[in-house]
Structure 1
Amino acid sequence: MKHFFKLIRIENLVLFAFMQLIIKYGFLNHIHFKDALGAPQSLVLWQSLSNFQYVLLVFATLFILAGGYIINAIFDVDTDNINKPNEVVIGTHISEKTAYNLYFVFTCLGVGIGFYLSRVINKPAFATIFVICAALLYIYSNGLKQIPILGNAIVALVAALSIVIISFFNIFPAIYAGNEFFMKTLVSILTDYAIFIFLLQFAIEIIKTIANEKGDAAYGISTVATSFGIKYSKIIGTASLVLFISYLTYYLVENLAHNLYAVGYFILFIIAPVVFIGIKLFQYELNKEYLLVIRILKIVQITTILSLLIILISMQYA
């Protein structure tokens, strides 16, 4: 079982599930507002998906991502034998045929649930989001990843879509004239957080190419690190982190400058670790050091999503 979990990158799946669950049960469900007539409303009653349907949305996302991890592992067996031989599962513990079958099952489940949920909210066209994500992950693994920058951006985009999809399936269908302004504000907030996740994930993907440079170079695979070199890869990764901090600062100034508790949280648990990484990235040279940077950035993704809770709590007790 541990080899199966390693194949589907269970730690990454838990991270994305955590983010989606926190957004609904830690943020959206605790929001109260007044409609156009001035009547108090609780957002828990004005979301499109029931609790069961929202859990299905989370599973659909996880199935698509798990399929993406599996197909990527299949195509990366040779390079992984050099970069991380102790973590190779396909061919050692799970056969390639079984891996392909698992990819097919997970992807079909994800897309199938997507079609079901799109019918539930009466927006059948929204199912194409799952189809597009699954297609992007396959194309990425089967060649697109060898297009520097673009391949990394595709993975980051899919990560961001795991946030955007909540707006499409849980908020947009519930918009009507009486709550339009408020609901669109929520969509705007989730879009901002999707951008945060995109920039962090893009930096993670760039740093991964640095950590995997040896194996990728041995097989002539074109990545940011093998194409531009380690030094410029670090510059590109740092540039993404600078953009993240810049956009986050803009977000704070525009929306939370009056909320000192929230600002303090952002500085201490989000900005400070990213600044630390930006500095250390140019000092690190060992593979294990790059892996440490990646872990820290994943933690920052969690603290970024948790900031939604901090904002709500600080507003209640300010």
Structure 2
Amino acid sequence: MAQELSQVSTFVESLFKLTRFGNLVIIAFAQYFTARFLIGPQTFTDLHLAILSLSTVCIAAAGYIINDYYDVKIDYINKPERVVIGKQITRRYAILFHVVLSSAGILLGLILSWRIGAVNVFSVFLLWLYSNSLKRLPFVGNLMVAMLTGLSIYVVDLYYGAHSAMVIIYAVFAFFMTLVREIIKDMEDLKGDNTFGCKTLPIVLGMRRTKVIIYAILAIFSATVFALNVLYEALPLQYYVVFLFLPLLWLFYRLLRADMKKDFAWLSAFCKVIMLLGISSMAFI
């Protein structure tokens, strides 16, 4: 009995690891904060919001699974400690979980509205296409993931029909921060990606030119967020200084000095911190 419980515990732990449970919590956290602080406090206890968030989380979890399914060999080089498929969970079960979670996400979306269902079908298809081929192309895969991340924020406004300028600002924020993080992850995973013929930006352009692209994205990002704020919904400058510009300056400084795998791993993690700071700032609006 004890051995069976241990096996079940190990399996559940592996499934949480495979689906990036921490990232799923951040997604749900972002959607609830968007609804509560940018749409209206009445949404926080709305059952429909719970269904919307659960559908998004299911699709994201399915996306992580199919990504790892296609990337097993690459991950054995880049992050061998993170490999789950083929070890704790078989490839057959991985595909089964992907199909079940994707289907659940689409069905939950359709329960809410045909628009949310359509968005979820679109997201499932793009996540599969990304994992199967697009992530091995320069910039295209990065752009795709960033777009889907921004969409996970905007879909809350799409469902409630609030047409909030602040939701658009935060969706743009999520888009740009994810785009930067995805490129940094490609720099971190250079060795494995290069071994298996991927054509990511660091492989095609080299590290130095890729850094220049990130600097340009950060500049465009800062200018865009500031412009949207001025044009649509003016907020006190201290919000941007504390929650955005100071962290971005630190990111810029650390990126300038980064040249080892561990440096890029730190930068990738710090991008998550900036994302959480940005989401948390919703509470002060």
Aligned to 1:129: 119
Quick one: which of 77, 85, 90 aligns to 1:95?
90
Quick one: which of 162, 175, 180 aligns to 1:203?
180
Aligned to 1:234: 211
Task: Please give the TM-score of this superposition, normalised by the length of structure 2.
Answer: 0.91
Partner amino acid for 1:166? V
Q: CA deviation at 1:144?
A: 1.2
Runs of 4+ displaced beyond 4 Å: none
1:55, 1:191 → 2: CA distance?
21
Q: CA deviation at 1:159?
A: 0.4
Partner amino acid for 2:16? F
Aligned to 2:28: 17
Partner amino acid for 1:18? F
8 Å CA contact retained: 1:83, 1:215: yes
Task: Please give the TM-score of this superposition, normalised by the length of structure 1.
Answer: 0.82
1:252, 1:277 → 2: CA distance?
22
8 Å CA contact retained: 1:67, 1:107: yes
Q: CA deviation at 1:126?
A: 4.0
Aligned to 1:175: none
Aligned to 1:60: 55
8 Å CA contact retained: 1:252, 1:263: no
8 Å CA contact retained: 1:136, 1:154: yes
- CA RMSD in angstroms comes to 1.7
Structure with the higher fraction of residues in helix conformation: 2
User: Which of the two has higher C-alpha Rg?
Assistant: 1
| Structure 2 counterpart SS, 1:94 | coil
Unmatched runs of 5 consecutive residues or more in structure 1: 31-43, 119-123, 173-182, 312-318
Aligned to 1:37: none
Spell out the pairing of 1:36-47 with structure 2 (5 A cutoff): 44=42
Distance 1:310 1:206, change over 3 A: same
Q: Give yes or no for the alignment of 1:303 onto 2:280.
A: no
2:122, 2:53 → 1: CA distance?
17
Percent sequence identity is 30
Q: How many residues align?
A: 274
Partner amino acid for 1:28? I
| Structure 1 counterpart SS, 2:256 | coil
Spell out the pairing of 1:75-224 with structure 2 (5 A cutoff): 75-118=70-113, 124-170=114-160, 172=161, 183-184=162-163, 186=164, 188-224=165-201
Quick one: which of 218, 234, 245 aligns to 2:222?
245
| Structure 2 counterpart SS, 1:221 | coil
Q: Deviations over 1:37-84 (max 9, x none)?
A: xxxxxxx3xx6x971111010000000111110000000100100001
2:74, 2:220 → 1: CA distance?
31
| Structure 2 counterpart SS, 1:282 | helix
Partner amino acid for 1:109? A
2:168, 2:216 → 1: CA distance?
21
Partner amino acid for 1:157? M
Q: Deviations over 1:274-317 (max 9, x none)?
A: 11111221211121211111111111112212222212xxxxxx
2:73, 2:152 → 1: CA distance?
30
2:224, 2:206 → 1: CA distance?
27
8 Å CA contact retained: 1:8, 1:66: yes
Unmatched runs of 5 consecutive residues or more in structure 2: 1-11
Q: Deviations over 1:131-165 (max 9, x none)?
A: 00000000000001122111110000110110111
